[in-house]
């Protein structure tokens, strides 16, 4: 039976530290497992991040890729099929940015654009930053209403 007086670590789970540089009899004396000479054998050595011993480092072997335009407005897109599912699950609910964020479809600060993929039969009120022409027509054809938020682009403030 175990009690607080006889608790011990599992067998083989605790090891003693190897005491390097304590004489040749220990088997870890002399160079203290650091090899002979060179920067790595000396105290205070630390390799630069990404240094591969003079070999061309991975960061320089792989080419640069891509470009991000600071003036472009990036939208998270939602389709009419998604709006239809939401309207069935939450009837009479206004589908706005807070609602989309609350249900994990977009992040709180994302710009949202509604696209016309799918079919919308429900009469819904939708609020977003942008709508495609087909989405706008489909929402209005189903008897719903839409409102557009203003987009504050970075390019407008720079002018």
3-state secondary structure 66-115: CCCCCCCCCEEEEEHHHHHHHHHHCCCCCECHHHHHHCCCCCCCCEEEEE
Architecture of the 75-158 domain: Ribosomal Protein L15; Chain: K; domain 2 (3.100)
Structure-token pair, residue 77: 């897109």
Residue 127 DSSP label: E
Per residue in 43-53, pLDDT (tens digit) is 999 989 999 98
Separation of alpha carbons 21 and 143, rounded Å: 84
Average of per-residue pLDDT across 78-85: 94
The SS3 of residue 55 is: coil
Res. 155: pLDDT tops 50: no
Residue 157, Cβ density class (10 Å: 0-12 exposed, 13-18 middle, ≥19 buried): exposed
Angstrom CA distances, 89 to 82, 94, 143, stand at 11, 12, 18
155 versus 80: the higher-pLDDT residue is 80
Average of per-residue pLDDT across 115-139: 93
Do 118 and 79 meet the contact criterion of CB atoms below 8 Å apart? yes
Res. 68: pLDDT tops 90: no
The SS3 of residue 59 is: helix
Q: What is the pTM of this model?
A: 0.57
Separation of alpha carbons 131 and 125, rounded Å: 13
């Amino acid at each position: 039976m175990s009690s607080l007086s006889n608790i011990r670590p599992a067998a083989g789970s605790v090891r003693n530290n190897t005491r390097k540089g304590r004489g040749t009899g220990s088997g870890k004396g002399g160079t203290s497992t650091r090899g002979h000479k060179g920067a790595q054998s000396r105290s205070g050595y630390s390799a630069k991040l990404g240094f591969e011993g003079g070999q061309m480092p991975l960061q320089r072997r792989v080419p640069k890729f891509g470009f991000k335009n600071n003036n472009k407005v990036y939208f998270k897109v939602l389709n009419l099929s998604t709006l239809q599912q939401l309207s069935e699950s939450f009837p009479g609910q206004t589908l706005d940015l807070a609602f989309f964020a609350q249900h994990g479809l977009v992040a709180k600060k994302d710009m949202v654009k509604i696209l016309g993929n799918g079919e919308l039969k429900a009469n819904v009120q939708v609020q977003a930053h942008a709508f495609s022409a087909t989405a706008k027509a489909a929402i209005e054809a189903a008897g719903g209403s839409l409102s557009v938020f203003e987009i504050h682009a970075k390019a407008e403030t720079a002018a």
